[in-house]
Structure 1
């Protein structure tokens, strides 16, 4: 019986490894392609591994494509937007989870209902507001509009529903203010789900293309995704440099995921199980 159980577990792990390998093949292909010479890249039939490893493609991307400026712009947008997102969504989720007031459920439904509204429907009103406020063609025009997300509010609320109300009441009896209660009790408890939201927000802002395309017109303020799109010429595409830029754009997201992967799993498992 134990032998059959171990064999079944081994087969499951083997299947998961094969599936993971299939998903990783495109990533491995583009990483190895960024290290190829142009001759090796255009060779037919193509090969997975480069005959000669070169970093010229990365050097060309930074010099010819002005990639350092785009990387800086995207880093600023992503970090500031993620910080604002965490603050706003954590406060909103905490209020909807622990403050009892009339219409709280209606407000939550209103938040969640916005998930069904695609950006294409509301982008014109948002653009008018951005232009009226003087944020057009500025990085703040990318940072501010997507700061409050219904997904983030829902995740935080669901997680905090599992925090005992008695813990908060005891802190209030001891004289803790609402701000101190939030920063010293709620935020440390909610670290797993806050980490999940941080990863999601980082990925959303780092890979965002449509909204920066609408808001930004100055090439010096382009983000990475706009730069990669703009790198494709009308009659010619510098594929080696383009692939190198794509590889560089994947590294920050991968680093953030590796740092917070434990919190990601824990937060996803616990966020949707509270009622």
Structure 2
């Protein structure tokens, strides 16, 4: 009896050790980035854990980088936040509407559309980069907020996620609502969405992270300094043939910090949504 208890404790201790070891392996790259963003430049990338710290990397960024010209940090942060939130909102609204139709409505061509969504997800987005740019330019949306937002207004991944979730919701709820005279629009936003808070959190965080870290499209479609996003502003501060590892780590921390904060705010719902996806 005593031996079996000791074996259980040993196995439990081994599991915790492996789990914390794997957690450390996954978290350490970000921890390394944070530590070296505050490290003295003489120790950046030369020690695993720096022993001397300073704010020189952040001072270099906020002082204007290599040119020493002050940059519109707050305005660029606003641009990134506005574009990211607006694009994410449109992707989620379009995702919910299309997914509800594919999951709960019967109409001709539904399976064809569903297969097209799945088929289109296999294509890399960069293939459509030039056609999308030409459409934006011909529509007069070049160098504007709409030029950054509208091409990112639909997410096939969001449609796919919501479609699978809505299919799992019993149809009896929809039939009861229709007997009470509810329209499809009201059913969608009064019944389906409240029942999908967990998956909505997962979709929201992934879409927001994807749009927040977008660089290539914003560099192509924006010309004026007033519309620069944070990613584009940071990319302009590093000369192509020179490296500044400390400021690069500091810039990476600035870019990832909002995503980390959002994850801690919605962490519980995110875990619930991921558990549903893994079922």
Normalised TM-score (structure 2):
0.88
Corresponding residue for residue 68 of structure 2: none
Q: CA deviation at 1:235?
A: 4.6
In 2: Cα distance, 1:112 partner to 1:9 partner: 42
Q: CA deviation at 1:36?
A: 2.4
Pairwise CA RMSD of aligned residues? Answer: 2.1
Corresponding residue for residue 231 of structure 1: 237
Q: Which of 21, 24, 39 matches 1:36?
A: 39
Give yes or no for the alignment of 1:58 onto 2:64.
no
In 2: Cα distance, 1:5 partner to 1:263 partner: 32
Alignment of 1:106-185 (within 5 A): 106-185=112-191
Alpha-carbon spacing, 1:10–1:47, altered in 2? closer, same or farther (3 Å): closer
8 Å CA contact 2:142–2:222 kept in 1: the answer is yes
1:221-260 Cα shifts (integer Å, max 9, x gaps):
2222222222211454444333222211111111111222
Q: CA deviation at 1:272?
A: 6.3
In 2: Cα distance, 1:220 partner to 1:136 partner: 14
Alpha-carbon spacing, 1:59–1:69, altered in 2? closer, same or farther (3 Å): farther
8 Å CA contact 1:213–1:226 kept in 2: the answer is yes
Unaligned runs of 5+ in 2: 66-70
In 2: Cα distance, 1:86 partner to 1:130 partner: 22
8 Å CA contact 2:143–2:221 kept in 1: the answer is yes
Q: Which of 187, 193, 196 matches 1:190?
A: 196
8 Å CA contact 1:81–1:205 kept in 2: the answer is yes
Q: Secondary structure at the match of 1:195?
A: helix
In 2: Cα distance, 1:96 partner to 1:272 partner: 21
Alpha-carbon spacing, 1:97–1:4, altered in 2? closer, same or farther (3 Å): farther
Corresponding residue for residue 98 of structure 1: 104
In 1: Cα distance, 2:203 partner to 2:175 partner: 27
8 Å CA contact 1:208–1:225 kept in 2: the answer is yes
Corresponding residue for residue 259 of structure 1: 265
Q: CA deviation at 1:132?
A: 1.2
Corresponding residue for residue 46 of structure 1: 47
In 1: Cα distance, 2:119 partner to 2:278 partner: 17
Q: CA deviation at 1:25?
A: 1.7
- Residue-pair matches, total: 270
Q: CA deviation at 1:177?
A: 2.5
Q: CA deviation at 1:84?
A: 0.9
Corresponding residue for residue 209 of structure 2: 203
Alpha-carbon spacing, 1:112–1:236, altered in 2? closer, same or farther (3 Å): same
In 2: Cα distance, 1:56 partner to 1:220 partner: 27
Q: Secondary structure at the match of 2:106?
A: coil
In 1: Cα distance, 2:123 partner to 2:48 partner: 44
8 Å CA contact 1:231–1:237 kept in 2: the answer is no
